[in-house]
Structure 1
């Protein structure tokens, strides 16, 4: 998948800042140190939405030996998985990983601490969560601390799913996405849905600077109807600088949107797209 996480340094592509360097670290501290000052918050807004979608999707498989798994695309360090299956908030995670005492730990020490931290906060009704991200260090950390049940680094923008991912797709009933809509295309969703063996729903938060229509068309080919309330927006993060803001305002206007009260106020905003079969 063409997203931050494949290495390199921070730069600007098309006017939007990239944070490639923070996704290749062995633990999430650099990720939170960089994004906390920018008030990155979209996983917080997605948390109740994903929980509701996961509950409703699981109800369709009621009586099956194994309930459907959630596949979080562009999962990085398992943030959405942490929020979905644990009694923890994004604000608490920001505080935890930027706390001076945490900064002094080695990665091994932090890993051990996180295992205990998340195990103590595990909800009584967890759902299986698989993670997909091109950053091997990020998904490996999420796997080691118990946030993910399985992790994959397949780049579906460039190739087909590996045999291991293909087998896992048979268990997936819900695909989630926050923030990755700027870096992946319909190619990734085609690969995932072609390998599905259960009815799959998609719940995605996508920046207003990005057209979701190509992905919507791909989902429609696979029998999914997409709905979106364009009047409801979700703050994503602060802009890094004026250049990024100018890019965002122009991109929103180019797609027929109005940046007044949103991007003009200094933040990226997202829309929520929900895709489900026309009939259960």
Structure 2
């Protein structure tokens, strides 16, 4: 989720700051410490949406069979999985991972603590969640502490899914995204849908600085119709500096959107796209 862990060192992609270094750590403390001052908040806004969509998608399947899995793309340390399946808020996660007590722990101690923390907060309506992110240390941690049921670091922008991911795709019924829209393309979604065996829905929060149309066209080629309420936006985070603000305003205007009250006010904003099969009931 969030800014995916691809790339090399921190830099800028088209004017947008990158935080690649925080995804290569063995645990999520650097992630939350770096993003806290920027008020990174999109997982908070996605939490109730993903819970609702996951429940709707699960209800379609025969109750006698295992329910469909959620695949969170660019999942990093499993933040969306934590918020989907556990009684925890993003604010509580920031407090947990930036507290002096947590900072003093070793990774092994934090891992053990997180296992107990999330197990105690597991919701009765929890659904299977798989995670996909090229940042292998991040997905390993999420898997180790029980946030993910399966974890994959396949780079679908560069290659086809490996054998493990291909097998897992047969179980996926919902794909979620909160931060990969700036980095992944239609290639990733095409690879995922080509491996699907169940009807797949896609629920994605994407920055207004990028066009979702190429991905929507790829989804349409697989029978999915994409809708968006362009009048409602969801704030992602503060800009790191004036350069990033100028980039965002320029990019939004280039797509025919109005940055007034949103990007001009100092934050990235996202749109929420829902893609579901054209055929009702699937």
Report the equivalent of 2:63.
Answer: 63
Residue 201 of structure 1 and its aligned partner are, at CA, apart by 0.1
Looking at structure 2, the residues matched to 86 and 232 of structure 1 have their Cα atoms a distance apart, in angstroms, of 27
Report the equivalent of 2:44.
Answer: 44
Residue 266 of structure 1 and its aligned partner are, at CA, apart by 0.2
Residue 7 of structure 1 and its aligned partner are, at CA, apart by 5.7
Pairwise CA RMSD = 0.8
Report the equivalent of 2:22.
Answer: 22
Residue 5 of structure 1 and its aligned partner are, at CA, apart by 1.6
SS at match of 1:225: strand
Instruction: Call closer, same or farther: CA 1:151–1:35 in 2, change over 3 Å.
Output: same
Report the equivalent of 1:230.
Answer: 230
Instruction: Give the conservation status (yes or no) of the 8 Å contact 2:4–2:179.
Output: no
Residue 63 of structure 1 and its aligned partner are, at CA, apart by 2.5
How far does the alpha carbon of each residue in 1:232-278 deviate from its partner, in whole angstroms, 9 at most, with x for none?
Answer: 00000000000000000000000000000000000000000000011
Looking at structure 1, the residues matched to 151 and 63 of structure 2 have their Cα atoms a distance apart, in angstroms, of 26
Instruction: Give the conservation status (yes or no) of the 8 Å contact 1:6–1:24.
Output: no
TM-score, structure 1 length as denominator?
A: 0.98
Instruction: Give the conservation status (yes or no) of the 8 Å contact 1:17–1:244.
Output: yes
Instruction: Call closer, same or farther: CA 1:4–1:129 in 2, change over 3 Å.
Output: closer
Looking at structure 1, the residues matched to 52 and 151 of structure 2 have their Cα atoms a distance apart, in angstroms, of 23
Q: Please list every run of 5 or more consecutive structure 2 residues that lacks an aligned counterpart in the other structure.
A: none
Looking at structure 2, the residues matched to 13 and 195 of structure 1 have their Cα atoms a distance apart, in angstroms, of 30
Report the equivalent of 1:197.
Answer: 197
SS at match of 1:261: coil
Looking at structure 1, the residues matched to 266 and 6 of structure 2 have their Cα atoms a distance apart, in angstroms, of 28
SS at match of 1:140: helix
How far does the alpha carbon of each residue in 1:7-64 deviate from its partner, in whole angstroms, 9 at most, with x for none?
Answer: 6321112100000000000000000000011000000000010000000000110324
Count of matched residue pairs: 278
Looking at structure 2, the residues matched to 68 and 223 of structure 1 have their Cα atoms a distance apart, in angstroms, of 19
Instruction: Give the conservation status (yes or no) of the 8 Å contact 2:236–2:270.
Output: yes
Report the equivalent of 1:114.
Answer: 114
Looking at structure 1, the residues matched to 116 and 193 of structure 2 have their Cα atoms a distance apart, in angstroms, of 35
Residue 4 of structure 1 and its aligned partner are, at CA, apart by 4.0
Q: Which runs of at least 4 in structure 1 moved beyond 3 Å after TM superposition?
A: none
Instruction: Give the conservation status (yes or no) of the 8 Å contact 1:236–1:268.
Output: yes
Report the equivalent of 2:53.
Answer: 53
